[in-house]
Amino acid sequence: MVNKFSRRTVLSAGAGMATTLAMPSILRAGSHQPLAGKELRLLTWSDNTGLAVLDHIAKPFEEKTGARIIADRTGSTSEMVAKLRAAGDRAQYDVITLAGVGAVELAGDGLLAKPDLNLLPNLEQVDPRFRTGADGHGIGYLLWTGGLIYNTKTFKEPPTSYAQMWDAAHKNRLFLPPSTWTDALDTIFATGKMIGGDGTNADEAFAKLAELRDSILTFGENPAQLSELFRSDALDIGGVYAPAFYAKELMDPANSNMGATYDVDEGFFADLMYTIVPKSKPGDDDVVHAFLDFTLDAEVQGVMAEAVLNGPINQNAVMSEAAKASPFIIKPEQMGEAAVVHDKSFIADVREDWINRYNQTLS
């Protein structure tokens, strides 16, 4: 009896049934569903950006190809890296979406396969700067962008500098990103630039950040918590933080009190996210490459950009007029002077030290 509960049996029975049911349509669809019956195991974020992956990438992919996607939607990038490291050469996933730093780390461990770029025709349309990374192990996905989040009740006009965070009027109404997020490194960088350096002047930046120590209400460990604090008018400003978490709230500032801006003197931050493929993936190559290619599709990129306010990397991304006009979505052509894209090797060098110092300076 106990066996009845085994997920595997349930799954295979389900899959069997699905195939039987799908038979006629496969026969009819013929070559239109070349991947029918294949499975792809996907690991993505637990937050709303992961949910968007399922709605706007996985579902249409299933409909188009007939493949079945089993998605695991748990964790942040660093938790994904921890799980994959522990699993070593027995990965349970075929494709993972994650932030740049995670791809670089896993590639460094030798756990990632190099996708065959010839099987990814959509890559042609991608801005050449964002095609691959992590030494060819990561395929560009979307741009994660960070700026300032502010309270629309307090600020009639969007703030134009990170220096606003030091304003005594916002004491105890300020938030910062948690030390463990890449956004914290961005914050250090932004502080460095604000006081006249190039961003790598960490010592001065930390001295300046230390002044905020008693002004911080909380660190934004949990995006939903922050949105509640904005809604109840308990926060004024904070950053560097990603508008991506707040696609819904930013559309409705009257209720959420939330606004976001990239238009600050010190610039905004952009980080290329990747899709990666573990070396020991359980699934087949063709379905994996088809999926990677699908994430770069002009329509998919446009829909995703609108859903989670990430920057599309496909230059032909199809976006609605509203999305094109949206100040929260950074388009590749806007990645000019104002965008700060970190040198990954520099970040890798200072990361541990900066995380520790950020913690020690502020909490």
Q: How many CB atoms lie under 10 A from the CB of residue 161?
A: 14
What is the rounded CA–CA span in Å between residue 46 and residue 262? 25
Rounded to a whole number of angstroms, the minimum distance from the CB of residue 181 to another protein is 8
**Which residue reads 């964002």 in tokens?**
130
Interface with another protein, residue 64, by CB under 8 A = no
Residues that contact another protein, how many (by CB under 8 A): 68
Residues in a beta bridge with 314: 126
Question: What x/- string results for residues 94 through 133 when contact with another protein is judged by CB under 8 A?
Answer: -----------x----------------------------
Helix 100-108 / helix 344-362 crossing angle, nearest 10 deg: 110
4 versus 31: smaller Cβ distance to another protein: 4
Q: In a 3-state reduction of DSSP, which class is residue 221?
A: coil
Q: Give the one residue of 125, 152, 180, 334 binding another protein; rule: CB under 8 A.
A: 180
Rounded to a whole number of angstroms, the minimum distance from the CB of residue 219 to another protein is 4
178 versus 259: smaller Cβ distance to another protein: 178
Interface with another protein, residue 15, by CB under 8 A = no
Rounded to a whole number of angstroms, the minimum distance from the CB of residue 81 to another protein is 7
One-letter amino acid identity for 358?
A: Y
Residues in a beta bridge with 276: 96, 138
48 versus 200: smaller Cβ distance to another protein: 48
Stretch that binds another protein, among 47-55, 152-160, 190-198, 340-348 (CB under 8 A): 47-55
Rounded to a whole number of angstroms, the minimum distance from the CB of residue 165 to another protein is 16
Distance of CA 77 to the CA centre of its chain: 9
What is the rounded CA–CA span in Å between residue 319 and residue 62? 22
Stretch that binds another protein, among 49-57, 158-166, 202-210, 291-299 (CB under 8 A): 49-57
What is the rounded CA–CA span in Å between residue 189 and residue 262? 15
Instruction: Quote the Cα angle for 326-216-238, to 5°.
Output: 10
Positions in 139-168 near another protein (CB under 8 A): none
One-letter amino acid identity for 176?
A: L
Residue 170 half-sphere exposure, CB side, CA atoms within 13 Å? 24
116 versus 211: smaller Cβ distance to another protein: 211
Q: How many CB atoms lie under 10 A from the CB of residue 138?
A: 27
Identify which of 156, 144, 196, 162 has the alpha carbon closest to the alpha carbon of residue 264.
162
236 versus 266: smaller Cβ distance to another protein: 236
Using CB under 8 A, list all residues that contact another protein: 2, 5-8, 10-11, 41, 46-48, 50-51, 54, 58-59, 70-76, 78-79, 81-83, 85-88, 90, 92-93, 105, 172-173, 178-181, 216-219, 221-225, 227-229, 231-234, 248, 255-256, 352, 355-356, 359-360, 362-363
